[in-house]
Chains A and B, each alone.
Chain A
Amino acid sequence: MYSEVEGIEVEGSPVSASAVNTIPFDAGKHPIVEVRNLNAWYGPQHILSDVSMKFKRNRVTAIIGPSGCGKSTLVRCINRLHELVPNSKLTGNVMLDGVDIYGKQIDVVVVRRRIGMVFQKPNPFPNMSIRDNVVAGLKLAGVRDKKRLDEIAKNALQQAFLWDEVKDKLSNSGASISGGQQQRLCIARALAVEPEVILMDEPCSALDPTATAKIEELINKLSEDYTVIIVTHNMQQASRVADYTAFMYLGKLIEYDETPTMFENPKEELTERYITGKFG
């Protein structure tokens, strides 16, 4: 059975498909993503405690904080990747357009299509060509139309500022290009499934300054059409790319505000100490 979701055929049972359609698309009524009283564990380790925050549509929100503060876990709860880890547990809600993505009727596959993700280390599929990497999400959901896939691949690569660099070697392996290019390929791959939200988990930490600058430029551009939530350990990066910044410490959300306010006039002493480099 196939059902239409934003023009993309999604394989799955009719039941899950109808559940999908209960997630409303009317923008503006709700924050695009809202986290409510979120608690998360890995085995006995309590990683997130009672985090609640709202993310604004078409804005870049940065999550900063020292290693182990739970910022990666927070974004992994937003696209339900957290549950892939054995012995993980979660309580609380994550709302996408006002609908709980952990609800019983919700198909996890559709959640992940609407909330894309870019990882810390570039992870293109090494056994696929550059072109096939970009359209992997569609191809593996049953889209077969070659012409359409070619078009989508070109579009996504252009959006990721990678098209000019790879247009002559689309059939080369996705692992054959440089690290920075691989990361932009992964961004193109995430864009190709047309998500509304893009999560980025320290997307530049494995890249050199030039590649980092390119990704940051790209993030600024992406926020015109997408909601971007980016985890970073680099405060300069947060101040460069983010409209809003959240500071986390020991699994708790300490402070969350517009980026200039956060960096120039933080309300919490902990935030100020972290931002001024006194710990972390």
Chain B
Amino acid sequence: MNVRNILDKVWLSLAVAAVVVALAPLASIIYYVTVRGIAAISWNFLTHNFDQIGNSGGIANALEGTFLVVALASAIGIPVGLLAGVYISEYATGRLADVVRFLSDVLVGVPSIVTGILVYSAIVVSFPTPYKGYTAFAAGIALGLMEIPIIANTTSESLKLVPNSLREASAALGIRKWRTIFLMMANCLGGIMTGILLATSRVAGETAPLLLTALGSTQSFQGWFNSIETMTLFIFQNGTSGTPNLVEQAWGASFILLITVLGINIAIKLVTRRRIVFV
């Protein structure tokens, strides 16, 4: 065996080792969450609200809260993100386009706690409610702000992949610009849907901004201007409580959250596989 072959083998084993290092924690997370989580799960657990004292409590209010907060976030993030993406790709030209695109890239990378503190000072502190201004509304705004740049970027990138010849074909037929844009969006629907699902799954797993906005609750939804429980807050509060049965419930909630996010990611794969191919 010569030196080159040895180097080749060394290089390969290093690469394999790196893959193991990268995948081992992921595998153990899935393993532990599944094993410990499944133990906590029962019909009762899924259908009852949190109960501080007994073992009879569950995550019904947390599931409801996550669903509602993410729904509000998407109601803001999807339309604003789509419009921003369309603007970046189809309208902005020259320097302005570069600036907007750069800002959008930066926004994707803003740590979620920063978004949280922004909404905390702008909304929570400014509009006191029974729970010191902590509201489901503020939580939805915070997560919505996080969705916007993700959806804007994926939308503009997807639109840029649509060949210009189709834009010209549409324009040459006397189709108005906004209709042309809809036509172009239909041609890259897979990419746009991916961005929307990606943004949704990302914010569904957020905790930091929710600590500063939603606060958490032991009750079901009490209106948009009241504090609200979410899955991640449930995991955070019970997981660190030190009470064994509550910690177990946190594992159960983690498992549910994990399969939800996993489910969204599988949906992304299915959507992208059906992506329209250009001839």
Interface residues, chain A, CB within 8 Å of chain B? Answer: 10-12, 79, 81, 84, 86-87, 109-113, 116-117, 119, 121, 123-127, 136-137, 140-141, 175, 186, 189-190, 193
| B169 to chain A: closest residue by CB | A123
Q: A-B pairs with CB below 8 Å: how many?
A: 79
Cβ contact within 8 Å between A86 and B170: no
Cβ contact within 8 Å between B279 and A140: no
| B165 to chain A: closest residue by CB | A123
- A12, B169: Cα distance in complex, Å: 20
Q: Is the interface of B mostly helix, strand, loop or mixed?
A: helix
Chain B residues with CB under 8 A of A193: 173-174
- A175, B278: Cα distance in complex, Å: 8
Cβ contact within 8 Å between A125 and B166: yes
Q: Shortest beta-carbon distance, A87 to chain B, in Å?
A: 8
Q: Shortest beta-carbon distance, B32 to chain A, in Å?
A: 44
Chain A residues with CB under 8 A of B175: 109, 136-137, 140-141
Chain A residues with CB under 8 A of B94: 86-87
Residue B173 contacts which of A110, A121, A175, A189 (CB distance < 8 angstroms)? Answer: A189
- A28, B187: Cα distance in complex, Å: 42
Please tell me the size bucket of the interface on B: 20 to 34
Contacts A11-B176, A126-B279 known; list 6 others, CB within 8 Å.
A111-B174, A113-B174, A126-B278, A127-B276, A141-B175, A189-B169
Chain B residues with CB under 8 A of A84: 167-168, 171
- A135, B187: Cα distance in complex, Å: 17
Q: A137-B175, A140-B179, A193-B174 are in contact. Are A125 and B279 (CB under 8 A)?
A: no
Cβ contact within 8 Å between B173 and A81: no
Cβ contact within 8 Å between B168 and A119: yes
Chain A residues with CB under 8 A of B171: 81, 84, 112
Interface pairs A-B: 3 shortest CB-CB: A113-B174, A137-B173, A117-B172
Q: A119-B168, A126-B276 are in contact. Are A112 and B183 (CB under 8 A)?
A: no
Can you list 29 A-B contacts with CB-CB less than 8 angstroms, sorted by A residue number? A10-B174, A12-B176, A81-B172, A84-B168, A109-B175, A112-B172, A112-B174, A113-B173, A113-B174, A116-B173, A119-B172, A123-B163, A123-B165, A123-B166, A123-B168, A123-B169, A125-B166, A125-B170, A125-B187, A136-B170, A136-B175, A137-B173, A137-B174, A137-B175, A140-B170, A140-B179, A141-B176, A175-B278, A189-B169
B99 within 8 A of A: no
Q: A86-B94, A136-B173, A193-B174 are in contact. Are A127 and B187 (CB under 8 A)?
A: yes
